[in-house]
Amino acid sequence: AKNSGRSAHVAFAPHMREDAAKRVQLELDLRRALERDEIVLYYQPKVALRSGQVIGFEALVRWKHPDGEMISPAEFIPVAEETGLIRDLGMLTLRQAIRQAEQWRRDGILTDEMNVAVNISGRQIGDKGLVGFIRDQLQESGLPPHSLRLEVTESLLINSDTTTGEFFREIKALGIGIDMDDFGTGYSSLSYLHRFPFDALKVDRSFVQRIDQTEESLSLPRSIVALGKALGMRVLAEGIENMEQLTQLIRIECGYGQGYLFSKPVPAEEVPEMMRHLDSK
């Protein structure tokens, strides 16, 4: 009887138990990581496609696990969101990015026309203290608000329209820009554009990856560029990896982009070197 009870589970239970255990371990580790210095930001440049000029950087979080492994945000952001740790993680990344941006301004690396963008998860938007925290961080660091941007995805859908609307109003009132991330992948991207005043659209990488010599592969990116123009928003293509994609994007007059072709995300200390490298291209 013992045996049959166990075998009834065999089909699905072992991996489920493993997953649950893995997540609990991940949560414990992440809690500890937040207290130590294991969470760092990497930075990827955003460029004006025609001139190649760097217009800013996107801050992307990295977790340097003590066992030497680099854990991807795709793996731990969802856990952070489910456990509420996203609040601490979000404050940590905002504080780091804001301090770093101000340091770069003083070093002359970040000009007045450039900015640093931070990814914000939908769960953070529901946090009443977030806007106040950002305001305080800007004040403390001395970073001008226009040197900071926020990137949000459709995950903001988890909040009510009122909450999201308030968040936009307050952030805009501070003078901070908001960009729509992963544009074109969600269900309601279009209705968002209508309701909330985004400053830029980021064309999802999946569209850029599909670009080849065919005109069909360009039809979606081209429509998004037209849409952005009509609404007075900048359009930035994500995940540009090769010259062909770059050439085609320039051809359809997409203004901005980022991707491995220019640079992978790098640690803050490697940014000056990356800039020199990009300048010499």
Tell me which residues touch ligand C2E (CB under 6 A).
44, 60-61, 72-74, 77, 93, 119-121, 151, 181-182, 239-241, 258-260, 265
Q: Among all residues, whose Cβ is closest to ligand C2E?
A: 259
Spatial separation of the C-alpha atoms in residues 118 and 70, rounded to whole Å: 20
Q: Which does 271 bind (CB under 5 to 8 A by kind): ligand C2E, Ca ion, none?
A: none
If you search the block for the tokens 């953070």, which residue do you land on? 124
Spatial separation of the C-alpha atoms in residues 57 and 269, rounded to whole Å: 13
Number of chain residues interacting with Ca ion (CB under 5 A) = 5
- Structure tokens, 70: 């680099």
Single residue of 100, 119, 141, 189 touching Ca ion by CB under 5 A: 119
Single residue of 29, 81, 102, 182 touching Ca ion by CB under 5 A: 182
Residue 53: C-alpha distances to residues 78, 87, 275, 280, 281 (Å): 34, 34, 10, 11, 10
Nearer to ligand C2E, 208 or 225 (CB): 208
Single residue of 45, 120, 181, 211 touching Ca ion by CB under 5 A: 181
155 lies in the site for Ca ion, by CB under 5 A: no
**φ/ψ (deg, to 5) at 17:** -65, -40
Q: Which does 22 bind (CB under 5 to 8 A by kind): ligand C2E, Ca ion, none?
A: none
- Sequence-ordered list of residues with C-beta below 8 angstroms from that of 122, at least 6 positions apart, any chain: 152, 153, 154, 155, 156, 157, 158, 159
**Contacts with Ca ion, residue ranges (CB under 5 A):** 119, 151, 181-182, 238
